[in-house]
């Protein structure tokens, strides 16, 4: 996982790297366009000074010429002398490569100055300044007696890297170490409260509104933490209000309905004529329907207000459906409906209670709207990160228009079908499937049957 912390560090190191690269390129441009020429000129001036001193000495013996150049080299120069007869003399630190180009010989033949330090063929540009090769020198002519010489000279690298340069290098290393450690510390300090806020958010989805934040800062993150705490308190308050509302309403509706159902059951045991028995039957059915409607309405309202606390966990879809079938076994047998299924293991991340409502509704409908000797087939397949579940029945079916409206609230194909129902079941099912980022579709044909196809994503957490 790419955390914010790692991203922050990577970005800082990247910025550091890019700025070093840009600085290097800029320094190269400056070096190539101005510094290199100046350095070359300075060294030519020194070489000419040395050459003219040599000539002024009127010396004709090599001995004294060598002694003088030996002393100059000790001042921090690498010197190479070539006579017109091809004699070579080296002074100071030896050159790593003695590669004198043809134009450098013009120093002796034409008495021209050789500007080897102003031409660097090396791809390393600026770094070639430190190249310890003979072609990286300046050359001047001098004459002793009647013999012409070429004097090639460059400051040695020890002289270029003075103590001040070493101090600068250490300064650069120290600044880099301190700033990188500073960035790491700062990133940790910045990200820590965000991690805490993430934890607190996760706790809220688990209905824990009292997760302690303990973030005391005066910056934007401090303000965010403060607003978050206010939100926690508000959510806790809302949650309590919602729970008490649902409790009150369901209690206030359910208890009188239970009373009505109880009395209807009692009446059914009495000696009644057919007309009264029918009335009692209606009271019983309608009160059951009303009780069911109350429960469904409450669920739909809480789903609508997004106040339903989704309690996600890894659940086995196949086991849930098998449990649902088991619970409805007696109704299936009563209506002589044959049921078969193909349900391989399918774990997904979902709210178990809500998904149970889905399977319950679909199976209830498949039984309710089936025909005598009908059958139901449930199938589960998995591919490309999705679980596909189909509920097929050989029931009374719907035409295209009816099927397209089946998921609408309070829609019932034909109230005259007189099946007990509220018209809310499928709209709740669709709502729940969408809450799980899934889809539901229906295909149906009158007197042939209906197939509901549900697709649910397999979240990454379940695959790990
Ligand atoms: P109800 O409580 O009436 O069953 P639903 O929302 O579950 O409400 O369904 C809406 C309507 O869609 C039902 O009234 C019924 O007419 C139709 N329907 C649902 N499932 C099926 C099915 N498997 N076969 C035929 N019709 C169905």
Three-state SS string across 129-175, please?
Answer: HHCCECCCCEEEEEEECCEEEEEEEEECHHHHCCHHHHHHHHHHHHH
- Which residues are paired to 139 by β-bridges? 114, 152
Binding site membership of 370 for ligand 1 (Cβ less than 6 Å) = no
Task: Choose one of 406, 415, 430, 444 to mutate for the ligand 1 pocket test, by most ligand atoms within 8 angstroms of C-beta.
Answer: 406
Cβ burial 416-451 (10 Å sphere, 16+ → b, else e): eeeeebbbbbbbbbbbbbebbebebebebeeeebbb
Residue 424 Cα, ligand 1 centroid: separation in angstroms? 9
Is a pLDDT exceeding 70 seen at residue 276? Answer: yes
Q: Which of 203-217, 253-267, 361-375, 376-390 bottoms out in mean pLDDT, i.e. has the lowest?
A: 203-217
Phi and psi torsions of 289, nearest 5°: -65, -40
Task: Choose one of 293, 364, 365 to mutate for the ligand 1 pocket test, by most ligand atoms within 8 angstroms of C-beta.
Answer: 365
Higher-pLDDT residue of 124, 226? 226
CA distances from 101 to 43, 114, 152, 341 (A): 18, 10, 12, 90
Cα distance between residue 42 and residue 288, in whole Å: 106
Averaged pLDDT score across all residues of the chain: 86
Numbered ranges of CATH 3.30.565.10 in the chain: 310-462
Cβ burial 360-376 (10 Å sphere, 16+ → b, else e): bbbbebbbbbbeeebbb
Average of per-residue pLDDT across 163-174: 84
- Which among 61-70, 114-123, 322-331 has the top mean pLDDT? 322-331
CA distances from 171 to 13, 81, 116, 157, 165 (A): 18, 39, 32, 20, 10
Cα distance between residue 56 and residue 143, in whole Å: 10
Residue 328 Cα, ligand 1 centroid: separation in angstroms? 17
Which candidate, 368, 451, 378, 373, places its Cα nearest to that of 412? 368
Q: pLDDT above 70 covers what percent of the chain?
A: 92
pLDDT of residue 109: 86
Residue closest via CA to ligand 1's atom 14 equals: 412
Residues 296/290, Cβ–Cβ less than 8 Å: no
- Which residues are paired to 316 by β-bridges? 347
CA angle 100, 106, 111 (to 5 degrees): 130
Phi and psi torsions of 213, nearest 5°: -95, -40
CB atoms within 10 A of CB 47: 26
Binding site membership of 43 for ligand 1 (Cβ less than 6 Å) = no
Is a pLDDT exceeding 60 seen at residue 347? Answer: yes
Average of per-residue pLDDT across 403-417: 82
Binding site membership of 76 for ligand 1 (Cβ less than 6 Å) = no
Strand 313-316 relative to strand 338-342, pairing: unpaired
Cα distance between residue 439 and residue 456, in whole Å: 7
Task: Choose one of 426, 443, 446, 448 to mutate for the ligand 1 pocket test, by most ligand atoms within 8 angstroms of C-beta.
Answer: 426
Query: What crossing angle do the helices spanning 62-74 and 36-56 adopt, rounded to 10°?
Result: 150
CB atoms within 10 A of CB 318: 19
Binding site membership of 374 for ligand 1 (Cβ less than 6 Å) = no
CATH of 310-462, picked from 3.30.565.10, 3.40.50.450, 3.30.465.10, 3.90.1150.10, is 3.30.565.10
Residue 251 Cα, ligand 1 centroid: separation in angstroms? 28
Phi and psi torsions of 308, nearest 5°: -70, 120
Average of per-residue pLDDT across 235-263: 82
Is a pLDDT exceeding 70 seen at residue 376? Answer: yes
Q: Which of 283-287, 309-313, 412-416 bottoms out in mean pLDDT, i.e. has the lowest?
A: 412-416
pLDDT of residue 195: 86
Binding site membership of 421 for ligand 1 (Cβ less than 6 Å) = yes
Which candidate, 396, 8, 442, places its Cα nearest to that of 189? 8
Binding site membership of 411 for ligand 1 (Cβ less than 6 Å) = yes
Binding site membership of 337 for ligand 1 (Cβ less than 6 Å) = no
Binding site membership of 426 for ligand 1 (Cβ less than 6 Å) = yes
Binding site membership of 391 for ligand 1 (Cβ less than 6 Å) = no
pLDDT of residue 452: 97
Is a pLDDT exceeding 60 seen at residue 27? Answer: yes
Residue 186: pLDDT band with limits 50, 70, 90: confident
pLDDT of residue 463: 52
Which candidate, 100, 101, 82, places its Cα nearest to that of 141? 82
Numbered ranges of CATH 3.30.450 in the chain: 4-160
Average of per-residue pLDDT across 173-197: 87
- Which among 4-8, 128-132, 302-306, 317-321 has the top mean pLDDT? 317-321
What Rg do the C-alpha atoms of the chain give, in angstroms?
46
Cα distance between residue 39 and residue 35, in whole Å: 6
Residue 376 Cα, ligand 1 centroid: separation in angstroms? 15
Name the class of domain 181-308: mainly alpha
Residue 364 Cα, ligand 1 centroid: separation in angstroms? 9
pLDDT of residue 1: 46
Which candidate, 285, 327, 258, 281, places its Cα nearest to that of 421? 285
pLDDT per residue as tens digits for the range 283-297: 988 888 888 888 887
Return the ligand 1 atom nearest residue 449 CA.
24
Contacts of 97 (CB under 8 A, 6+ apart): 132, 133, 134, 135
Phi and psi torsions of 421, nearest 5°: -175, 170
Residue 78: pLDDT band with limits 50, 70, 90: very high
Is a pLDDT exceeding 80 seen at residue 397? Answer: yes
pLDDT of residue 306: 64
Residue 29: pLDDT band with limits 50, 70, 90: confident
Strand 77-83 relative to strand 88-91, pairing: antiparallel
Is a pLDDT exceeding 80 seen at residue 124? Answer: no
- Which among 219-233, 350-364, 407-421 has the top mean pLDDT? 350-364
Binding site membership of 397 for ligand 1 (Cβ less than 6 Å) = yes
Binding site membership of 365 for ligand 1 (Cβ less than 6 Å) = yes
pLDDT of residue 464: 47
Residue 393: pLDDT band with limits 50, 70, 90: very high
Residue 398 Cα, ligand 1 centroid: separation in angstroms? 9
Average of per-residue pLDDT across 49-62: 77
CATH number of 4-160: 3.30.450
Residue 58: pLDDT band with limits 50, 70, 90: low
């Amino acid at each position: 996982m790419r955390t914010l912390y790692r991203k922050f560090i990577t970005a800082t190191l990247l910025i550091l790297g890019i700025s070093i690269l840009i600085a290097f390129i800029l320094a190269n441009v400056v070096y190539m366009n101005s510094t290199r020429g100046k350095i070359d000129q300075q060294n030519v001036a020194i070489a000419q000074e040395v050459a003219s001193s040599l000539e002024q000495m009127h010396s004709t013996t090599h001995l004294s010429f060598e002694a003088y150049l030996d002393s100059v080299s000790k001042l921090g120069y690498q010197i190479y002398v070539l006579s017109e007869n091809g004699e070579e003399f080296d002074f100071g630190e030896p050159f790593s490569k003695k590669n004198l180009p043809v134009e450098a010989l013009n120093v002796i033949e034409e008495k021209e100055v050789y500007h080897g330090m102003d031409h660097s063929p090396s791809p390393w540009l600026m770094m070639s300044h430190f190249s310890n090769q003979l072609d990286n020198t300046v050359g001047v002519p001098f004459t002793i007696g009647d013999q012409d010489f070429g004097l090639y000279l460059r400051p040695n690298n020890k002289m270029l890297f003075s103590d001040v340069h070493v101090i600068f290098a250490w300064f650069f290393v120290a600044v880099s170490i301190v700033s990188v450690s500073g960035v790491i510390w700062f990133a940790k300090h910045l990200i820590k409260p965000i991690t805490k806020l993430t934890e607190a958010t996760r706790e809220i989805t688990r209905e824990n509104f009292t997760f302690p934040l303990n973030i005391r800062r005066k910056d934007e993150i401090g303000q965010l933490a403060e607003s978050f705490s206010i939100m926690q308190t508000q959510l806790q308050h809302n949650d309590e209000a919602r729970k008490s509302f649902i409790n009150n309403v369901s209690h206030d509706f359910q208890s009188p309905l239970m009373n009505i159902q109880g009395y209807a059951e009692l009446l059914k045991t009495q000696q009644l004529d057919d007309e009264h028995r029918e009335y009692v039957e209606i009271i019983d059915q309608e009160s059951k329907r009303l009780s069911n409607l109350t429960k469904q309405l409450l669920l739909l309202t809480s789903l609508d207000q997004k106040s339903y606390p989704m309690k996600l966990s890894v659940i086995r879809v196949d086991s849930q459906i098998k449990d649902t079938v088991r619970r409805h076994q007696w109704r299936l047998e009563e209506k002589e409906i044959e049921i078969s299924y193909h349900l391989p293991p399918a774990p997904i991340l979902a709210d178990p209670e809500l998904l149970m409502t889905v399977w319950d509704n679909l199976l209830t409908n498949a039984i309710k709207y089936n025909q005598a000797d009908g059958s139901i087939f449930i199938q589960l397949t998995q591919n490309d990160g999705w679980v596909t579940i189909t509920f097929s029945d050989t029931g009374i079916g719907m035409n295209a228009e009816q099927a397209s409206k089946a998921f609408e609230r309070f829609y019932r194909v034909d109230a005259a079908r007189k099946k007990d129902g509220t018209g809310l079941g499928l709209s709740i099912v669709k709502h729940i499937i969408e809450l799980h980022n899934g889809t539901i579709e229906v295909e149906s044909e009158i007197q042939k049957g209906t197939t509901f196809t549900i697709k649910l994503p397999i979240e990454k957490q379940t695959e790990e």
